[in-house]
């Protein structure tokens, strides 16, 4: 599919998900009784936020694959940008870290998510958390804006990942950094999974090889790249069998293909060799 088609799939699916609670998303990708999907559990990668300062249950749709704020070295007074901010979950946790003197900006290209996040921020009474509609491949932000960029299980949904990381480099201040949780692969997925729209929106078939992912970050100019956390993900057979045969499933289990949640850190240390500044 073309990049614009993939973006429309993601926008449609997450627009539907935005109208559901975390519990409904856990039971069915777009809510009980919905016909919008074939059984992908969009919360399969999610981790427990409930003990974190700043956590707001209304903003937690269970759509992440890590907790990037855990490793992001966010300080009081920082400006934090969250890419694919959804209903605001990571933004509100970040706000607890930056305090009253900092600023948090969430960017999402699903209008329903933006509306839900703004509603949550208004209920919480925050005046230093804002949500902007925009595409991660062309962000509505000036250069050198952010001290820290975070993102949670979103960049695998972006068709042009190189352009996305170039944009992250552009908006970060010199000596700024990012901590991003995402889904990557080791080994080859069956073709039917790669081509399944639902699996793309569900953060699996849009994922790239782990080394390719790290190389994209490097080629965008980032330094001191490290994997802060890595966890292998097991997708239930009943989900995979919606797209592949039992024989293909057995082959997948035995060919060492792995789906991983990773949290990656990198720094924008200088601009001398990068034209994205």
Chain-centroid distance of CA 247 in Å reads: 32
In a domain, 272, yes or no: no
Q: Which residue has the tokens 């749709």?
A: 61
Buried b (16+ CB within 10 A) or exposed e, 153-181: bbbbbbbebebbbbbbbbbbeeebbbbbb
In a domain, 93, yes or no: yes
In a domain, 277, yes or no: no
Structure tokens at 152: 């949670």
User: What's the pLDDT score for residue 119?
Assistant: 95
In a domain, 188, yes or no: yes
Structure tokens at 22: 């975390």
Q: Which residues of the chain have pLDDT under 70?
A: 1-2, 5-6, 9-46, 193-206, 271-277
Cβ-Cβ contacts under 8 Å for 207 (sequence gap 6 or more): 156, 182, 183, 184, 185, 259
Q: Would you give the end-to-end CA distance of the chain in angstroms?
A: 31
In a domain, 193, yes or no: yes
User: What's the pLDDT score for residue 202?
Assistant: 45
- Asked if residues 268 and 222 have their Cβ atoms less than 8 Å apart, the reply is yes
In a domain, 251, yes or no: yes
**Percentage, residues of the chain above pLDDT 90:** 53
Looking at residue 259, which CATH number applies to its domain? 3.40.50.150
The count of structural domains within the chain is 1
Domain range spanning residue 223? 3-267
In a domain, 147, yes or no: yes
**In angstroms, rounded to a whole number, what is the distance separating the alpha carbons of residues 181 and 248?**
29
**In angstroms, rounded to a whole number, what is the distance separating the alpha carbons of residues 114 and 130?**
10
Q: For residue range 213-230, what is the model confidence (pLDDT) as tens digits?
A: 999 999 999 999 999 999
User: What's the pLDDT score for residue 32?
Assistant: 31
Cβ-Cβ contacts under 8 Å for 215 (sequence gap 6 or more): none
User: What's the pLDDT score for residue 256?
Assistant: 76
In a domain, 178, yes or no: yes
**DSSP E strand stretches across 21-135:** 79-83, 103-108, 129-133
Buried b (16+ CB within 10 A) or exposed e, 46-78: beebeebebebebbbbbbbbbbbbbbbebeeeb
User: What's the pLDDT score for residue 277?
Assistant: 56
Buried b (16+ CB within 10 A) or exposed e, 187-213: eebbeebeebbbbbbbbbbbbbebeeb
């Amino acid at each position: 599919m073309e990049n614009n088609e993939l973006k429309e799939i993601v926008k449609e699916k997450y627009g539907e998900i935005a109208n559901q609670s975390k519990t409904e998303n856990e039971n069915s990708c777009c809510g009980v009784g919905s016909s919008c999907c074939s059984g992908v559990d969009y919360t399969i990668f999610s981790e427990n936020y409930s003990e974190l300062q700043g956590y707001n249950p209304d903003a937690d749709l269970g759509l992440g694959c890590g907790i990037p704020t855990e490793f992001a070295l966010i300080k009081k007074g920082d400006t934090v940008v969250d890419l694919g901010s959804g209903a605001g979950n990571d933004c509100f946790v970040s706000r607890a870290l930056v305090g009253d003197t900092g600023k948090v900006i969430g960017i999402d290209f699903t209008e329903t998510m933006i509306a839900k996040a703004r509603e949550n921020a208004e209920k919480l009474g925050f005046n230093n958390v804002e949500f902007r509609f925009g595409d991660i491949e062309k962000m509505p932000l000036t250069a050198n804006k952010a001290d820290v960029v975070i993102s949670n299980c979103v960049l695998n949904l972006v068709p042009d990942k190189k352009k996305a990381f170039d944009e992250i480099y552009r908006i970060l201040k010199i000596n700024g950094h990012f901590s991003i949780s995402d889904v990557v692969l080791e080994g080859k997925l069956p073709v039917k999974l790669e081509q399944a729209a639902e699996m793309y929106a569900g953060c699996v078939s849009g994922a790239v090889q782990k080394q390719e992912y790290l190389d994209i970050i490097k080629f965008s100019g980032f330094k001191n790249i490290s994997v802060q956390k890595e966890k292998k993900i097991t997708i239930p057979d009943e989900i995979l069998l919606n797209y592949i045969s039992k024989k293909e499933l057995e082959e997948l289990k035995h060919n060492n293909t792995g789906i991983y949640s990773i949290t990656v850190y990198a720094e924008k240390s200088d601009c001398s060799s990068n034209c994205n500044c």
